[in-house]
Structure 1
Amino acid sequence: MMRCLLVDDEPLALDLIEDNLKHVNYIQVVGRCRTAAEAITILQTEQVDLLFCDIHMPGLNGLQLVKSLITKPMVIFVTAYEKFAVEGFDLDILDYLVKPVPLDRFLKACQKAQRQFELNKALAIQAYSPKKYFFVHADYTLVKISFDDIEYIEGLKDYVKINLANKPKAVLSRTSIKAIELQLPSELFYRVHKSYIINVDYVTQIRRGKVKIVDTELPLSDNYRDMIHKMIGKGIE
């Protein structure tokens, strides 16, 4: 269960968030604060996974609070002001809700937090115990992907498409190709284009401007040719 902290200088706003959380059975409120200073004290002594935080508060505001945290939980800003959204997302917050917040929008933010919480746990397990697999979110489910099964990965703006050996349907996950690349073993996977990562075990041909993965030809960008040279140990015709 996620442990969350509520931070807002208005008691009514805290009450509304807590009432909304009665509809969510996977989030536990561990504290309510009316100032950033109170929040910092609790964050130093309690395990907090999620922070619902206002921006305009006396003393330290919500943006300054989040900036001050060395290790921060997931953050959802709940504020009456739209104008701070860009600055908020620059702080890698999870979501930005504008008061008054409709219940369905609030619940959507909570679901987003739950998905990220599960992914963070899976990644933490991997960090302490190196595996031959990783997890991605696909169709509201955590899907286990074995490194050995990946032929290539394609970046599609807000999604990645993971093409697997002997599987007719690729796995589509809402994440970035860079985030996926950081989880892959560098001795097995190579970036050949801004939109493609390949598994060297499935490479069948390499020629100027193209890499063939089994029966699929992918573009080979000049920006990544040095990496291919390193992979094969010689030049490309």
Structure 2
Amino acid sequence: MNISCLIIDDEPSSQNVLKSFINKIDYLDLLHVCNNAIEALAYLKNNTVDLLFLDINMPQLSGVSFYKSLQNPPKVIFTTAYSEYALDGFNLDATDYLLKPFSFERFIKAVSKLKKLNDHPTENIIVKADKKLHQIKIDDIYFVESLGDYIKVHLENTTLVTYKTLTKMYSELPKSSFIQVHKSFIINKKKINYIEGNLVIINSNKIPLGVKYKKAFLEFFNS
């Protein structure tokens, strides 16, 4: 599955380099470019992405402060012209750190780390529910439903309710099998029984297919 990207950088020349490199990688999809962290905060209120290319040294709000402010941050590759900021980036569990100016070869090395994680995801996931830690197989998940700051993880014969947002849960699931079909639902492609109009039927459950998600879902379903 492709990795959706957001560039956050206040320098047009750096934006152009990143756009050029991203366009050369078939599994990267650039969704938007933001000139600063304030623009990015507004964009992420209504959109989700898999990966940020985030400049650290920006006016108003630094890349590090911006990233720390996100409740459910996506993966991040920090970019900066100042090597002294590298430690800050890695302390935030960054996928990688690119020191400007960086080559296309170095860029490929950075994004390949995330590609490997997407292609070879873990088989199990830990879900905390009912004051217990449940280890469940990712393939056993039928769909996930949002309940505000909580989610319901639907399995074949039971449902687990845990304190986690849908966005955070989606970031932990392999994009080869799971896709968001509505602002409140993520589904497992392998568990779909059939599609009827704007409904996805899974194990007798009728899951709504949102308008903004329909095109991407149908492409995903037919792939």
TM-score scaled to structure 1, two decimals?
Answer: 0.52
Q: Distance in 1 between matches of 2:3 and 2:123?
A: 14
2:71 counterpart letter in structure 1: I
Taking the aligned partners of 2:96 and 2:48, their CA distance within structure 1 comes to: 20
Aligned to 2:16: 15
Shift of 1:20: 0.5
Q: Does the aligned pair in 1 maintain the 2:3–2:27 contact within 8 Å?
A: yes
User: Aligned ranges for residues 2-151 of structure 1 at < 5 Å?
Assistant: 2-119=3-120, 130-131=136-137
Q: 1:132 to 1:107 in 2, by over 3 A?
A: closer
- C-alpha deviation, 1:87, in angstroms: 1.4
Query: In structure 2, what is the equivalent of residue 215 of structure 1?
Result: none
In structure 1, distance between residues paired with 2:89 and 2:27: 25
Letter in 2 for 1:98: L
Cα distance in structure 2, aligned partners of 1:56 and 1:10? 10
Q: AA paired with 1:107?
A: I
Q: What is the TM-score with the length of structure 2 in the denominator?
A: 0.55
1:129 and 1:62, CA in 2 relative to 1: closer, same or farther beyond 3 A? same
Listed as ranges, the gaps of 5+ residues in structure 2 are: 128-133, 140-223
Q: Residue deviations 1:172-223, cap 9 Å, x none?
A: xxxxxxxxxxxxxxxxxxxxxxxxxxxxxxxxxxxxxxxxxxxxxxxxxxxx
In structure 2, the CA distance between the partners of 1:29 and 1:123, relative to structure 1 (3 Å rule), is farther
| Partner-residue secondary structure (3-state), 1:130 | strand
**Shift in CA distance, 91/132, structure 1 to aligned 2, threshold 3 Å:** closer
SS of the aligned residue for 2:79 comes to strand
State the Cα distance separating 1:123 from its structure 2 match: 5.2
Give the Cα–Cα distance (whole angstroms) in 2 for the partners of residues 89 and 122 of structure 1.
26
Post-superposition CA distance 1:27-51 (Å, at most 9, x none):
1011100110111111121121000
Alignment of 1:174-189 (within 5 A): none
CA contact (8 A) 2:89 2:97 kept: yes
Question: Any residues of structure 2 matched to 1:191-202 within 5 Å, and which?
Answer: none
Give 2:144's aligned residue: none
* 1:92-140 Cα deviation digits (max 9, x unpaired): 111000000011010011111112234558556x86992399xxxxxxx
Q: Does the 8 Å contact 2:4/2:29 carry over to 1?
A: yes
One-letter amino acid of the structure 2 residue matched with residue 131 of structure 1: K
Distance apart, 1:19 and its partner CA: 0.1
Change (3 A) 1:120 1:57: farther
**Change beyond 3 A, Cα 1:123–1:48:** farther
Give the fraction of aligned pairs with identical amino acids, expressed as a percent: 37
- What is the distance in 1 between the residues matched to 2:87 and 2:120? 25
Matched residue of 2:31: which SS?
strand
Residues of 2 paired with 1:54 and 1:46: CA distance? Answer: 19
Runs of 5+ unmatched residues, structure 1: 134-237
Give deviations 1:139-179, integer Å, cap 9, x for gaps: xxxxxxxxxxxxxxxxxxxxxxxxxxxxxxxxxxxxxxxxx
Runs of 4+ in 1 over 6 A off after TM superposition: none
Distance 1:7 1:22, change over 3 A: same
Secondary structure of 1:83 counterpart: helix
Given the superposition, is the C-alpha separation of residues 51 and 123 from structure 1 closer, same or farther in structure 2, using an over 3 Å criterion? farther
Q: In 2, distance between residues paired with 1:41 and 1:6?
A: 14
Following the alignment from structure 2 to structure 1, what is the Cα–Cα distance between the partners of residues 121 and 37?
25
